């Protein structure tokens, strides 16, 4: 999976600290991103209804192929190259954009697996906009069941530059990172930044300085995330798998996309049965699990 942070040293450090009991039993996670809904970190997406004008398609773009299986619509620069993430038919909003990076550390370290429930609340001010784009800001709440000796976990996601409450352990003048996560345990808290648990630290810093780090027990990645995948391909079935194989990437994607779907059905508590890949309490949500392909596209 293209969650390149999964190959970072900090990912392994975080899991080794969790397994070492650095903050005890983790029961709560808060994660957030400052990435705008359109996906372009350098500009905000001005929410709008579907454009009505039809500018010419650039000569370098095969518009029909770019659209893929979704219903046809005329080309417009409001869709690409970056803003496609904001449109319901093309992208998955900030959660789908950044969840695979920011939620990856906690998902792996806590061995979360599929959630039991998911629900979301969000902004949206105009019906014609809500039917076309993801909201400017969302809060998504997941509940994960116990996993063996690990207790249940409540995970809350924030986007649109919303943030969780500032932890009391954070020193005065020290801000939360623009994107990151806070893991809350029975014995303390861990704060990290975006991809691959960047800047992972126990808080406050005094707690970090007194912590005796455990030995390294997890395989480290030599070279890049992509190089590790190529190595695994060359080694074949009998070799060491890549650090983020399909079995892991698929499970992480399932968790993230359930939150994306909850945003589309905001203010509803959805109960998920991963074994059957269906919601047990909402048929409208089940209808959104698959899209209808236009003529000429099949799977």
Give the pLDDT score at 49: 82
Whether pLDDT at 11 is above 90: yes
Whether pLDDT at 287 is above 90: yes
Q: For the chain, what is the domain count?
A: 1
Asked whether residue 293 is assigned to any structural domain, the reply reads no
**Choice among 10-14, 122-126, 191-195 with the minimum mean pLDDT:** 122-126
At residue 299 the predicted structure's pLDDT band, cuts being 50, 70 and 90, is confident
Asked whether residue 23 is assigned to any structural domain, the reply reads yes
Whether pLDDT at 188 is above 80: yes
Percent of the chain with pLDDT over 90: 86
Tell me the pLDDT of the chain averaged across its residues: 94
Give the pLDDT score at 23: 98
Asked whether residue 280 is assigned to any structural domain, the reply reads yes
Whether pLDDT at 126 is above 80: no
For residues 195-203, average pLDDT: 92
Q: For residues 288 and 299, what is the distance between their CA atoms, to the nearest angstrom?
A: 17
Domain that holds residue 177: 4-287
At residue 130 the predicted structure's pLDDT band, cuts being 50, 70 and 90, is confident
Q: CA geometry: angle at 94 spanning 93 and 95, to 5°?
A: 95
Give the pLDDT score at 197: 86
* Tokens at 12, concatenated: 């392994």
Whether pLDDT at 209 is above 80: yes
- Residue reference for tokens 């773009």: 61
**CATH code at 152?**
3.30.360.10
150-176: pLDDT as tens digits: 999 999 999 999 999 999 999 999 999
At residue 38 the predicted structure's pLDDT band, cuts being 50, 70 and 90, is confident
Whether pLDDT at 47 is above 80: no
234-274: pLDDT as tens digits: 999 999 999 999 999 999 999 999 999 999 998 999 999 99
Asked whether residue 257 is assigned to any structural domain, the reply reads yes
Whether pLDDT at 125 is above 80: no
At residue 40 the predicted structure's pLDDT band, cuts being 50, 70 and 90, is confident
Asked whether residue 43 is assigned to any structural domain, the reply reads yes
77-97: pLDDT as tens digits: 999 998 999 999 999 999 999
Whether pLDDT at 293 is above 90: yes
Asked whether residue 32 is assigned to any structural domain, the reply reads yes
Asked whether residue 292 is assigned to any structural domain, the reply reads no
């Amino acid at each position: 999976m293209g969650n390149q942070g999964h190959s970072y040293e900090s990912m392994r450090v975080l899991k080794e600290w969790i397994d070492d009991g650095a903050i005890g039993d983790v029961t709560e996670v808060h994660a957030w991103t400052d990435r705008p809904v359109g996906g372009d970190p350098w500009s905000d997406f001005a929410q709008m209804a579907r454009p009505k004008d039809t500018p010419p398609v650039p000569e370098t773009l095969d518009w029909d192929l770019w659209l893929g299986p979704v219903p046809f619509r005329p080309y417009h620069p409001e869709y690409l190259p970056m803003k496609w993430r904001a449109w319901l038919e093309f992208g998955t909003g900030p959660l789908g954009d950044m969840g695979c990076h920011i939620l990856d550390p906690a998902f792996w370290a806590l061995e979360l697996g599929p959630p039991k429930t998911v629900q979301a609340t969000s902004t949206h001010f105009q019906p014609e906009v809500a039917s076309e784009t993801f909201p400017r800001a969302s809060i998504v709440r997941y509940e994960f069941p116990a996993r063996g000796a690990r207790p249940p976990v409540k995970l809350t996601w924030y986007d649109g530059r919303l943030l969780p409450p500032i932890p009391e352990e954070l020193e005065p003048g020290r801000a939360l990172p623009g994107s990151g996560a806070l893991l809350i345990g029975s014995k303390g808290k861990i704060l990290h930044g975006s991809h691959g648990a960047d800047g992972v630290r126990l808080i406050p810093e005094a707690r970090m300085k007194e912590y005796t780090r455990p030995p390294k027990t997890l395989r480290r990645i030599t070279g890049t995330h992509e190089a590790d995948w190529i190595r695994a391909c060359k080694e074949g079935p009998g070799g060491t798998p890549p650090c983020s194989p399909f079995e892991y990437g698929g499970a992480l994607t399932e968790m993230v996309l359930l939150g994306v779907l909850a945003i589309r059905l905001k203010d509803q508590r959805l109960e998920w049965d991963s074994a059957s890949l269906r919601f047990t309490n909402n048929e409208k949500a089940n209808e959104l699990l698959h899209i209808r392909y236009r003529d000429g596209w099949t799977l």
